[in-house]
Amino acid sequence: MSKRVRSREVCADCSAPEPRWASVNRGVLICDECCSIHRGLGRHSSQVRHLTHSPWPHSQLQMVQTLYGNGANSIWEHSLLDPSSSVSGKRKANPQDRVHPNKTEFIKAKYQMLAYVHRMPCREDDSVTAKDLSKQLHSSVRTGNLETCLRLLSLGAQANFFHPEKGNTPLHIAAKAGQILQAELLAVYGADPGALDSSGKTPIDYARQAGHQELAERLVEIQYELTDRLTFYLCGRRPGKCSKSLSNHQFEELAMDVYDEVDRRETDAVWLATQNHSTLVTDTTVVPFLPVNPEYSSTRNQGRQKLARFSAHEFATLVIDILTDAKRRQWGNSCESPKDNVELILQGLDGHHNSEGQDNDQPDYDSVASDEDPVQEVNVSWKSSDLSDGPITVQEFMEVKSALTASEAKIQQLLKGCSLEGQSTVLENDYDTTPNHSELEESGPLAASEAAHQGEEGEEDATLPCTEDVICKTEQITKNIQELLRAAQETKHESFLPCSEKICMAVTEMAALFPKRPSSETVRGSLCLLTSSASRLHGECQKATEHNLSPSDIQLVTQQVIQCAYDIAKAAKQLVTVTTKENNN
């Protein structure tokens, strides 16, 4: 559906012609003046986007347009449609009303107080009412009747309701039925695309099994909406599908608060760009920080508001840390799916011929001090080379993360600014080139052998093998990794172990090309990563042969296998790069 505003559309709040904004969660279109008030309500009340200047997923825009066209506004103005409302003095705003106080009071009553929404008959047990509404929602999402589902949600139906008899959620049902607009609506109200049914399947699985591939792909996008949105805000592009002291619940709250702040800053930019310095751009329509959400504690609301005080560089630092820690928490430093990682790993390996000696481990960043705070903080300034076209790889983000590991105190100061009461985020390097003894015991003979080589007495050797030999061995490793990844894509877990044995043999042959005590620290680190990753890969592939693994265990093992393969690919590429560089000098 086109983003072009049609002439018959009017503002849902004051009936002004040609509204240019939408409230996504309310399913209505609004004019500039009413939008200036919506922005002050907060995302928990109204999520606003510009129809033509904000980025829109196609199906989400279609969902809003469908709701608007089918009279969703009557849900929020139900009692105003009653003829007796005019007798009682109740009326909606009109275009000629003043923004303050007329339109403001009406919009706050309509969306914050829900003053005009149809009320359910009072019952002693409200939880029973919510359960009944949620069951109705569970049944309704299989149809295309969006406004019915929005009405149920407005009355208190839960988007993540787990049906005790059916063993799944409304999003599972919508996905199975191919109802992409219902899925969009449920997602706006917090439905989880990764929720498991009683058999351990997600809505994404339901959509794929029913042949609704477009819907499945959209659900994957929704699942990564938070990290994708933060990445796009930070870098101007989407990532390739890819704080430790905070609990998961605290981290989730921080991530959502930062997401809301990103939305506020982006909407601010669109707002200013579309107003052309008209009379609307006044102090009364500015939203300088996140509005108070009454459902949150005063401490959290204070922290949310303090996010507005972060400079662009300071805010970028926090966003980067959340992105990398979100990846670690969800996948344990693994990426999203075996299919996505095939392209990621092979892309990294295919680039070794034209590396021209470039050291990919050197991050592009500048560390500068804040002019506003006496406490030194890490601030990131992206170089122009980082904004080139193309997908962002996991490696690029992990390199940026490594650049921010200088001091726990600096990140602690960032989180202190968010009023998280003494909690701090500890950043770690992704690759430790000096594994401890317990790690060596777990990782197997290759890693132990490599550590023994590094611990041997003798002089360091600066000689390196010829580039052609290293490339030849790298291509052999690449071929074996391709075979492993195909097995992962086709869920042939019985093939993991034979593939890993081939990879370990190729890694051993490649490592043998280099001296036992290389003088280059980069070579030592890459060799350690290469051999230890191969040993870990072998161990993970052995786990895949166990017969009592659950589907979730198999998925976790597969993710670990993919991550080990990525580490091997990274180390091999590093060795090709440094060898080419040294031999060309």
Residue 243 pLDDT? 47
Average of per-residue pLDDT values in the chain: 75
CA dihedral (226, 222, 194, 545) in degrees, to 10, reads -90
Name the residue type at position 516: K
pLDDT tier, 201 (very low <50, low <70, confident <90, very high otherwise): very high
| Residue 464: Cβ-neighbour burial (10 angstroms; 0-12, 13-18, 19+) | buried
Q: What share of the chain is helix, strand, coil (3-state, %, to 5)?
A: 55, 5, 40
pLDDT tier, 125 (very low <50, low <70, confident <90, very high otherwise): low
Identify the weakest region by mean pLDDT among 21-25, 380-384, 499-503: 380-384
Task: Reply yes or no on whether the pLDDT at 268 is more than 80.
Answer: yes
Q: Are 518 and 527 in contact (CB under 8 A)?
A: yes
Q: How many CB atoms lie within 10 A of CB 112?
A: 15
90 Cβ neighbours under 8 A, 6+ residues apart: 79, 80, 116
Which phi and psi (to 5°) does residue 392 adopt? -85, 125
pLDDT tier, 276 (very low <50, low <70, confident <90, very high otherwise): low
Decide which of 39 and 392 is more confident: 39
User: Can you tell me the mean pLDDT for 333-357?
Assistant: 41
Q: Using CA atoms, how far apart are residues 26 and 75, in angstroms rounded to an integer?
A: 9
Which phi and psi (to 5°) does residue 331 adopt? -125, 0
Q: Using CA atoms, how far apart are residues 446 and 441, in angstroms rounded to an integer?
A: 10
* CA-to-CA dists, residue 333 to 8, 323, 361, angstroms: 51, 11, 17
Which phi and psi (to 5°) does residue 50 adopt? -75, 140
Residue 550 pLDDT? 76
Residue 415 pLDDT? 41
What is the model's pTM? Answer: 0.54
DSSP character at residue 10: B
Q: Using CA atoms, how far apart are residues 360 and 330, in angstroms rounded to an integer?
A: 26
CA dihedral (553, 197, 142, 217) in degrees, to 10, reads -20
Q: Are 464 and 582 in contact (CB under 8 A)?
A: yes
Instruction: Show the domains of the chain with their CATH numbers.
Output: 21-112 (1.10.220.150), 467-584 (1.20.120.330)
CA dihedral sign, ordered 75, 80, 81, 84: positive
Task: Reply yes or no on whether the pLDDT at 304 is more than 80.
Answer: yes
Residue 286 pLDDT? 65
Task: Reply yes or no on whether the pLDDT at 280 is more than 90.
Answer: no
Task: Reply yes or no on whether the pLDDT at 393 is more than 80.
Answer: no
Q: Using CA atoms, how far apart are residues 9 and 6, in angstroms rounded to an integer?
A: 6
54 Cβ neighbours under 8 A, 6+ residues apart: 266, 267, 270
SS3 per-residue string spanning 330-394: HHCCCCCCHHHHHHHHHHHHHCCCCCCCCCCCCCCCCEECCCCCCCCCCEECCCHHHHCCCCECH
| Residue 317: Cβ-neighbour burial (10 angstroms; 0-12, 13-18, 19+) | buried
* CA-to-CA dists, residue 463 to 67, 355, 420, 510, 574, angstroms: 69, 21, 52, 15, 16
* CA-to-CA dists, residue 232 to 46, 262, 340, 387, angstroms: 22, 10, 19, 11
Name the strand (E) or helix (H) holding 22. strand 21-23
Q: Are 33 and 50 in contact (CB under 8 A)?
A: no
Q: How many CB atoms lie within 10 A of CB 397?
A: 21
Residue 278 pLDDT? 47
Decide which of 83 and 304 is more confident: 304
Name the residue type at position 320: I
Task: Reply yes or no on whether the pLDDT at 203 is more than 70.
Answer: yes
User: Can you tell me the mean pLDDT for 246-259?
Assistant: 86
CA dihedral sign, ordered 461, 395, 329, 290: positive
Radius of gyration of the chain measured on its C-alpha atoms: 28
pLDDT tier, 45 (very low <50, low <70, confident <90, very high otherwise): very high
Task: Reply yes or no on whether the pLDDT at 279 is more than 50.
Answer: no
Residue 452 pLDDT? 41
Residue 558 pLDDT? 80
Task: Reply yes or no on whether the pLDDT at 283 is more than 80.
Answer: no
User: Can you tell me the mean pLDDT for 526-546?
Assistant: 85
User: Can you tell me the mean pLDDT for 321-346?
Assistant: 58
Task: Reply yes or no on whether the pLDDT at 85 is more than 70.
Answer: no
